[in-house]
Amino acid sequence: FRTTLKNAGLNCRKWFNNKFIMQIDKLAAYHRIPDTLARAAHRKATRHLFSSIKVEYVDAYKPRPSLVSLTGKKVDCHVHAEVQLVIHYLQPVTTLPPRYIGTSKGACFLCHLLIVEHSRFAVSTWHGRLFDQWTIPDLAEYTPENVATLRAIIQRMHDKSSRLLTVPHPKRPHPLTS
């Protein structure tokens, strides 16, 4: 998209600050990503990487109401896609888990921090925005080991967040996230 804008002689910075253009770019990703994968699968040099691909569907968790919010009002907390994938791979799996957790957008601050503190995965990109409606699902299926792992991760996330509050940071505009 950036190349298309440049080739048309348009200012990329101006267009990437336009909310509607960015939404169109996000929609275009639904075409661009499978098209890129299909081209790579047909290339002789990378064909072997696609010989045993299996698509798995991970069910989304329902939003949960919470009274803890920046507004002080009742809000629905959502389990972000990155968190769903981390939780999915906490469960016993028969396949080799990925090294990267990636979605079609950058990870938020808490998703990135969860993945960093988990230390089993990495994210390809993150925008760093902090959402007060973020949550980790509370599941009966967690093993005692899962609970201990998540408690330790959450404690490290809390400690790191507390340290970050003591350091001045420049204010940045919110990124387009969905």
Per-residue pLDDT of the chain (178 residues), as tens digits, is 678 878 888 887 787 788 887 788 778 877 888 899 899 999 999 999 888 887 778 888 999 888 777 777 888 999 999 999 999 988 877 677 888 887 767 899 999 999 999 988 988 888 888 888 899 999 998 999 999 999 999 999 999 999 998 988 777 666 655 5
DSSP per position, 105-161: S-B-HHHHHHHHHH-S-EES-B-----TTB-----TT--HHHHHHHHHHHHHHHHHH
0.75 exceeded by pTM = no
Inside any domain, residue 120: yes
What's the domain range around 23?
Answer: 2-50
Q: From residue 72, how far is each of 79, 132, 133, 147 by CA, in Å?
A: 20, 11, 12, 29
Judge whether 70 lies within some domain: yes
Q: Are residues 76 and 160 in the same domain?
A: yes
Q: Quick one: 75 and 97 in the same domain? A: yes
From residue 146, give the alpha-carbon distance in Å to each of 56, 73, 84, 124, 127.
21, 31, 14, 25, 27
Residues in the chain: 178
